[in-house]
Structure 1
């Protein structure tokens, strides 16, 4: 735990607990919203091949994950940490943030 706190530059164990909580509800929320959204637009396993359905499900869940991560981070007072994490994650996927502050 101390190694993680040093790596993420966190001084308070409560802040680490909040960060873990935000990660957990973000993942759950993105999955919980992804499947019903696909169903609402008519994309289900019954009418689409699994090789197409699951990539669409993963992409939609990923998009919601990115949005929820920053939103929940802001909601729980950790926006700066999660905004930095968000930019780092998206850079790995090829998005650049040269003109975005902080």
Structure 2
């Protein structure tokens, strides 16, 4: 069975094997779902739903970035891909804070 072209592109871009690419995608999915499930309980602790406005939403998205990255590293560790995600995080923050 031939693998999809997008998987080949990810393997080349990330310099990983097919299995590693699939595990990396699973880690991204798990991280996204975890943040999704944590969002409402965390927001409920801070403010009622009717008290939230656009400023609150912007602040939430700024604050969730470090939480997302920590969860990404935790899942990366649990799935045996910590080194990949550690390097991924370093590159991402270099791009964000580059002068």
- The answer to whether 1:6 aligns with 2:15 is no
TM superposition score normalised by structure 2:
0.81
In 2, distance between residues paired with 1:31 and 1:93? Answer: 23
TM superposition score normalised by structure 1:
0.79
Note the alpha carbon deviations across 1:56-101, whole angstroms, 9 max, x for none: 2212332221111111000000000000001111222217xxxxxx
Deviation at 1:26, TM superposition (A): 0.6
- Residue 56 of structure 2 is matched in structure 1 by 53
- The answer to whether 1:64 aligns with 2:70 is no
- CA-atom RMSD in angstroms: 1.6
The count of aligned residue pairs is: 92
Query: Runs ≥4 in structure 1, deviation > 4 angstroms?
Result: none
Instruction: Note the 1:79-98 alignment, pairs <5 A.
Output: 79-94=82-97
In 2, distance between residues paired with 1:36 and 1:59? Answer: 17
- The answer to whether 1:73 aligns with 2:79 is no
Q: Any conservation in 2 of the 1:45–1:53 contact (CA below 8 Å)?
A: no
- Residue 34 of structure 2 is matched in structure 1 by 29
Closer, same or farther: CA 68–51 of 1 in aligned 2, 3 Å: same
